[in-house]
Amino acid sequence: MTDLRRAGKRERLIAAARTLFHEQGVHVTTLAEVAQRGDVPVGNVYYYFKTKEELVRAVVDEYVGQAEALLAGFDTLRTPAARLKGLTRGWLDVADTVADHGCPVGGLCAELNRCDGALRGAGVEIFGRISAWVEAQFRQLGRRDARDLAMALLSGIQGSALLANTFSDATIMSRQARYLERWIDSLA
């Protein structure tokens, strides 16, 4: 996460928006709240983002960039199975946060899918990159059903995130991660 004391105003606004969107949702978050959380005068928000939609777009772009960086990190692992298990384990880094507030990406994507206009479906950009990468890993394992397997893996991860939040229990995600690792091994 960006160190808000050293980041520029634009970066602070995006970081503040990400946090607020995760904690309370896009629709109820105001630009004034984002400015306050980012320690930026409210009038400056409009210098960087003419509309709330532009700010949301910047948050989506930030998540896309983070997803690409995360996946590039897993590409250093030797085998497709190791890369898939790395992705599965990677979600555990945020398990406590997910148990408290839900998945930041999953929640944002679900909310954006209920929007009208240009933001509707913007979450596909985030999960689309992840699902394409997962599918490619399964194809490298020689699986003809790679697309279905990719959706099953992501559904397992996101489903455990939803249940961890519902029951306020981060261990649901760790148990699901162990299950998914065994499942990946059985497919490799």
Note the pLDDT tens digit of each residue in 125-158. Answer: 899 999 999 999 999 999 999 999 999 999 999 9
Tokens coding 56: 């949301």
Is the per-residue pLDDT at 72 higher than 50? Answer: yes
Angle (CA) 125 128 132, round 5°: 145
59-65 LR contacts (CB < 8 Å, sep 24+): 59/14, 59/17, 59/18, 59/21, 59/108, 60/108, 60/112, 60/119, 60/122, 60/123, 60/125, 60/126, 62/14, 62/18, 63/18, 63/104, 63/105, 63/108, 63/126, 64/125, 64/126, 64/129
Query: How far apart, in whole angstroms, are the C-alpha atoms of residue 98 and residue 165?
Result: 6
Kindly report, residue by residue over 45-71, the tens digit of the pLDDT.
999 999 999 999 999 999 999 999 999
Q: Which of 72-81, 108-117, 163-172 has the lowest mean pLDDT?
A: 108-117
How far apart are the two ends of the chain, measured CA to CA in Å? 34
The pTM for the full model equals: 0.88
Kindly report, residue by residue over 79-115, the tens digit of the pLDDT.
999 999 999 999 898 999 999 999 999 999 998 988 8
CATH class in words for 1-50: mainly alpha
Is the per-residue pLDDT at 188 higher than 50? Answer: yes
**Is 15:38 a contact under the CB 8 Å cutoff?**
yes
Query: How far apart, in whole angstroms, are the C-alpha atoms of residue 22 and residue 101?
Result: 7
Residue count (the chain): 188
Q: Where in the chain is the domain with CATH 1.10.357.10?
A: 60-187
Tokens coding 84: 């898939």
Return the pLDDT at 81.
98
Return the pLDDT at 7.
67
Fold of 60-187: Tetracycline Repressor; domain 2 (1.10.357)
Return the pLDDT at 5.
53
Return the pLDDT at 2.
44
Tokens coding 62: 């930030």
Return the pLDDT at 119.
84
Kindly report, residue by residue over 4-44, the tens digit of the pLDDT.
455 699 999 999 999 999 999 999 999 999 999 999 999 99
Q: Where in the chain is the domain with CATH 1.10.10.60?
A: 1-50
